[in-house]
């Protein structure tokens, strides 16, 4: 039986203030510098930095959550995804078998915990356990989208801190290191007792909108919790910042109150990390147009797009929604012309190379 997703959104996302912005800014600057350095290097030098294809102590595996992303990462680093067998019993129970020797190998497992969240999470745990019992030297989980991240604190009586529970499960299963992209709350890194690398997708998104060169652009945060992310984006594209003040009345139910900032006759760009049911997004779009915006665009790292999201986006006045491929788009979303997908495979590939070669990853995330 297919299990749906339970989504909990909190108004206060518990950002870590200036530290998160500093990390993201440093990652963006480093990505630009690395791109320029790569262009300046002779072909022979570039080839020497990509030697993972000859390294017998490195292997890349993937679950079923986002195999296309894993394949693209493999092409970037010159290593094919390892052979394995993933099947399910009639009752849905997952079966996983490695078809390659991993004894003493540095293994990376790509598996976002996207819809169906619980199914993909258990699949990841079973894969980790199999790798541990096959004597892998080190297991790094590459989780482009961390499910349950929105449940990172007790915002109501008698609720679970599910983000911490998932961290414990991954560690107990045998993960030695974790690599994430745009955690909903940066402090989730502290839930782990293993090294965590936290990447930001913003360099990819910023580059796209720089090339688009929208005139009279204003960057908009859809809530107070996303101001740091939106401010960083605004600085990189040289645009002013506006904020939408909202009140959340229930889970996935938001009442937009007012717009703080000048958006009249401006091209507005809404910046968010997760778009789930798109309720907040559509109401933010309506509020911006009501305040005189000329056109409204949006971008987000994780296109969860559950429930009525596709229909809401299609019926809205949103010009374009730009997302990354941390989560594979469903068929209905792929058919919607308003949605454009950018790849973060190169970013993840560079991080995986650095982790394996024991070089600094701080140029990518800190």
pLDDT confidence of residue 18: 57
Helix (H) / strand (E) containing 193: none
pLDDT confidence of residue 366: 42
* CA angle at 287 for the pair 278 and 253, rounded to the nearest 5°: 40
pLDDT digits (tens, 9 = 90+) for 179-209: 999 999 889 999 999 999 999 998 899 999 9
Cβ contact 66:325 at 8 Å: yes
pLDDT confidence of residue 7: 41
CA pair distance 93, 101, nearest whole angstrom: 24
CA pair distance 73, 340, nearest whole angstrom: 19
pTM value is 0.83
The residue among 300, 306, 345, 281 whose CA lies nearest residue 144 is 345
Cβ contact 314:344 at 8 Å: no
The number of beta carbons lying within 10 Å of the beta carbon of residue 141 is 28
Give percent helix, percent strand, percent coil of the chain, each to the nearest 5.
40, 25, 35
The number of beta carbons lying within 10 Å of the beta carbon of residue 250 is 8
pLDDT confidence of residue 328: 96
CA pair distance 196, 338, nearest whole angstrom: 34
Taking phi first (over 0 means left), then psi (-120 to 50 degrees means alpha), and beta for anything else, what does residue 213 get? left
Q: Give me the residues paired with residue 88 across strands.
A: 94
Average per-residue pLDDT for the chain: 87
Q: Confirm whether 246 is a catalytic residue.
A: yes
pLDDT confidence of residue 361: 78
User: Would you tell me the crossing angle of helices 227-237 and 202-212 to the nearest 10 degrees?
Assistant: 40
CA pair distance 83, 239, nearest whole angstrom: 47
Averaged pLDDT, groups of 10, the chain, 366 residues long:
43 50 65 55 38 87 98 96 96 96 97 96 98 98 96 92 97 98 92 95 93 96 89 93 80 71 96 94 94 97 96 97 96 95 96 92 62
CA distances (Å), 7 to each of 122, 298, 306, in order?
18, 21, 9
CA distances (Å), 260 to each of 105, 214, 246, 300, in order?
53, 21, 11, 21
pLDDT confidence of residue 41: 44
Name the active-site residue from 246, 266, 338, 340. 246
């Amino acid at each position: 039986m297919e299990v749906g997703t339970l989504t909990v959104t909190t108004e206060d996302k518990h950002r870590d203030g200036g530290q998160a912005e500093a990390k993201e800014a440093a990652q963006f600057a480093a990505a630009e510098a690395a791109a320029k350095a790569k262009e300046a290097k002779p072909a022979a030098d570039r080839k020497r930095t990509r030697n993972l294809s000859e390294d017998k102590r490195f292997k890349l595996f993937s679950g079923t959550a986002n195999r296309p992303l894993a394949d693209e990462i493999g092409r970037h680093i010159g290593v094919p995804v390892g052979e394995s067998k993933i099947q399910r019993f009639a009752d849905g129970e997952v079966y996983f078998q490695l078809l390659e020797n991993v004894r003493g190998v540095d293994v990376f497992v790509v598996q976002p915990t996207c819809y169906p969240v619980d199914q993909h999470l258990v699949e990841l745990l079973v894969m980790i356990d199999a790798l541990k019992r096959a004597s892998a030297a080190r297991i790094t989980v590459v989780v482009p989208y961390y499910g349950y991240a929105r449940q990172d604190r007790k915002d109501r009586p008698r609720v679970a801190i599910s983000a911490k529970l998932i961290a414990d499960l991954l560690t107990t299963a045998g993960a030695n290191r974790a690599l994430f992209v745009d955690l909903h709350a940066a402090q989730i890194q502290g839930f782990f007792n293993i090294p965590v690398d936290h990447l930001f997708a913003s360099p990819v998104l910023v580059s796209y909108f720089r090339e688009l060169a929208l005139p009279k652009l204003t960057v908009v945060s859809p809530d107070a919790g996303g101001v740091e992310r939106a401010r960083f984006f605004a600085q990189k594209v040289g645009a002013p910042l506006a904020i939408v003040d909202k009140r959340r009345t229930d889970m996935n139910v938001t009442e937009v109150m007012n717009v703080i900032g000048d958006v009249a006759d401006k091209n507005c760009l809404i910046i968010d990390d997760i778009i789930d049911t798109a309720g907040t997004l559509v109401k933010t779009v309506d509020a911006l147009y009501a305040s005189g915006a000329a056109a409204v665009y949006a971008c987000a790292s994780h296109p969860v797009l559950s429930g009525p999201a596709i229909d809401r986006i299609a019926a809205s006045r949103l010009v374009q929604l730009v997302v990354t491929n941390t989560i594979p788009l469903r068929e209905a979303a792929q058919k919607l012309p308003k949605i454009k997908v950018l790849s973060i495979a190169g970013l993840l590939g560079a991080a995986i190379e650095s982790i394996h070669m024991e070089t600094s990853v701080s140029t990518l995330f800190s």
